[in-house]
Amino acid sequence: MGESRGPFLRAFIPGSTSSDDTGRLNLDARGNRGSHSVGTKNRGHASRSWIKIDQDGNFEILELDKTTIMRHCSLPARDLRLLDPLFIYPSTILGREKAIVVSLVQIRCIITADEVILMNSLDGCVVQYYLELCKRLQTNKDQADDLPFEFRALELALELTCMSLDAQVKELGMEIYPVLDELASSISTLNLEHLRRLKGHLLALTQQVQKVHDEIEHLMDDDGDMAAMYLTEKKQRLDSSSDGYTQTNISSLDRVVSKSAPVSPVGSISGAQKLQRAFSSIVTSKHGSLISSSSNRENVEQLEMLLEAYFVVVDNTLSKLLSLKEYIDDTEDLINIKLGNVQNQLIQFELLLTAATFVATIFAVVTGVFGMNLKASVFDYPSAFHWVLVITGLAGCLLYFSFLFYFKHKKVFPL
């Protein structure tokens, strides 16, 4: 499998066009090489590299512009903007008249009743989707499958998207848990910065998974959207109805022409063509109303079971992300508790220092009093200074322990 990816990867290079096409794209109307500004102005109408995969697993790399794709798949321009890699849109699955527009993370493609038009890219998920779809279609080419072609292509897109998201969640969890365990034991600025980056990645991944989850849930709740995705059945009804109406119109046309007055052969052919065009327009309008009226009665159980299976997988992935987020929140709460405890210890220590400073100021007051030029009889006794020191020290100690007893009584901090 790994050896067969080499030629495919070279074929996936968006710029791998022929030399004639390159010359044609780079030359303007005067035969000169187009500047960058010209390419920028025509970027909206420029061709892009697409991979077309048919029901047998055969592929073809094409250069198609938006107008060709819109005409071929009957899609509005706003649906093609969902597939444009220059814009970032949330994951979306849209059922249209002749196609299903799929934009799931990196897989962006258009699924019809008999082919898949995939945007050519070197992304690993896109390459895996292309290779796996071709392999499955070629393997089951001669085997009967309960799912129609469009559902098999949609199932593979959902499967690879769910696998990719689940793998990203597991990888993110392997990075987050060691950082959180280390932060729980020791808080450092480096670990906090690492956790901040991982949390940003977690939020972005949660938004992606949540959007896929909501999109699948929205499809499961709307039977009309699911009925619009039965492209193979709509195509079969269209072909059978067109054949029946065509045969009926031809027989009625023959009767009308045979009963008409004889005219020249040229005039008869021209009148028949005009009449047949009128009948064709009537058939088209009747058939369109027939499809719209019967779409609500479509049996969507098959698609609903398919979507439900991957809805459970995405919901499980979302639960893992929410568990990671809760674990981060719990760790942040623990860190805040630890920081608050440290702050309280600093406040307690500051309070003790403040009380000791207040006691020490008593000696400063005594020193200031005895340092003044006053006449007192206490200076006549040599031992008086020692008694002053002893009495001042005992008074300071008594005051300090009184502060401690008061703090313990008020439960300011445990002692």
What confidence tens digit (pLDDT) does each residue in 259-298 have? 444 444 434 444 555 445 554 554 444 444 444 434 444 4
- Whether residue 349 lies inside any domain: the answer is yes
Q: Which domain holds residue 398?
A: 343-410
Confidence category of residue 244, pLDDT binned at 50, 70, 90? low
- Rounded to whole angstroms, how far apart are CA atoms 151 and 39? 38
HSE-CB of 40 using CA atoms within 13 angstroms: 3
Phi-psi region of 103 (alpha: psi -120 to 50; beta: other; left: phi over 0): beta
What pLDDT shows up at residue 252? 53
What pLDDT shows up at residue 255? 53
- Token pair of 93, please? 């699955």
Confidence category of residue 164, pLDDT binned at 50, 70, 90? very high
Confidence category of residue 86, pLDDT binned at 50, 70, 90? confident
- Whether residue 359 lies inside any domain: the answer is yes
% of the chain surpassing 90 pLDDT: 25
Residue 214: exposed, middle, or buried by beta-carbon count in 10 A (0-12, 13-18, 19+)? middle
- Rounded to whole angstroms, how far apart are CA atoms 173 and 324? 7
Non-local CB neighbours of 321 within 8 Å, separated by 6+ positions: 169, 202, 205, 206, 209
Is residue 113 within 8 Å of 74, Cβ to Cβ? no
Helix (H) or strand (E) holding 75: none
Average pLDDT over residues 194-215: 93
- Whether residue 53 lies inside any domain: the answer is no
- Token pair of 328, please? 């981060």
- Whether residue 366 lies inside any domain: the answer is yes
Confidence category of residue 247, pLDDT binned at 50, 70, 90? low
Lowest mean pLDDT among 6-10, 110-114, 207-211, 249-253: 6-10
In this predicted model, which residue has the larger pLDDT, 117 or 277?
117
Q: Which amino acid is at 111?
A: I
- Rounded to whole angstroms, how far apart are CA atoms 180 and 182? 5
- Report whether pLDDT(375) > 80: no
Non-local CB neighbours of 72 within 8 Å, separated by 6+ positions: none
Is residue 202 within 8 Å of 297, Cβ to Cβ? no
Helix (H) or strand (E) holding 97: none
Lowest mean pLDDT among 80-94, 141-155, 241-255, 287-301: 287-301
- Rounded to whole angstroms, how far apart are CA atoms 207 and 90? 9
- Whether residue 185 lies inside any domain: the answer is no
What is the DSSP code (8-state) at residue 260?
S
What pLDDT shows up at residue 273? 55
- Quote the number of domains for the chain: 1
Q: Of 126, 110, 352, 104, which Cα lies nearest the Cα of 219? A: 104
Which of 80-94, 227-241, 339-353 is modeled with the greatest confidence?
339-353
Lowest mean pLDDT among 133-137, 220-224, 359-363, 367-371: 367-371
- Rounded to whole angstroms, how far apart are CA atoms 248 and 242? 10
- Whether residue 242 lies inside any domain: the answer is no
- Token pair of 343, please? 């702050």
What pLDDT shows up at residue 144? 66
pTM of the shown model: 0.67
Which of 23-27, 213-217, 230-234, 410-414 is modeled with the greatest confidence?
213-217
Q: Angle 384-409/301-370 helices, nearest 10 degrees?
A: 160
- Whether residue 227 lies inside any domain: the answer is no
Mean pLDDT computed over every residue of the chain: 76
Confidence category of residue 189, pLDDT binned at 50, 70, 90? confident
| H-state helical runs in 27-123 | 36-41, 66-73, 77-81
- Report whether pLDDT(157) > 50: yes
Non-local CB neighbours of 48 within 8 Å, separated by 6+ positions: 14, 63, 64, 65, 119, 120
What pLDDT shows up at residue 345? 86
Three-class SS state of 21: helix
- Whether residue 29 lies inside any domain: the answer is no
- Rounded to whole angstroms, how far apart are CA atoms 310 and 162? 7
Taking the C-alpha atoms of 51, 232, 125 and 57 in order, what is their torsion angle to the nearest 10 degrees?
-50
What confidence tens digit (pLDDT) does each residue in 10-62 have? 443 344 433 344 333 333 333 343 334 334 444 445 688 899 999 888 888 98
Lowest mean pLDDT among 45-49, 121-125, 139-143, 283-287: 283-287
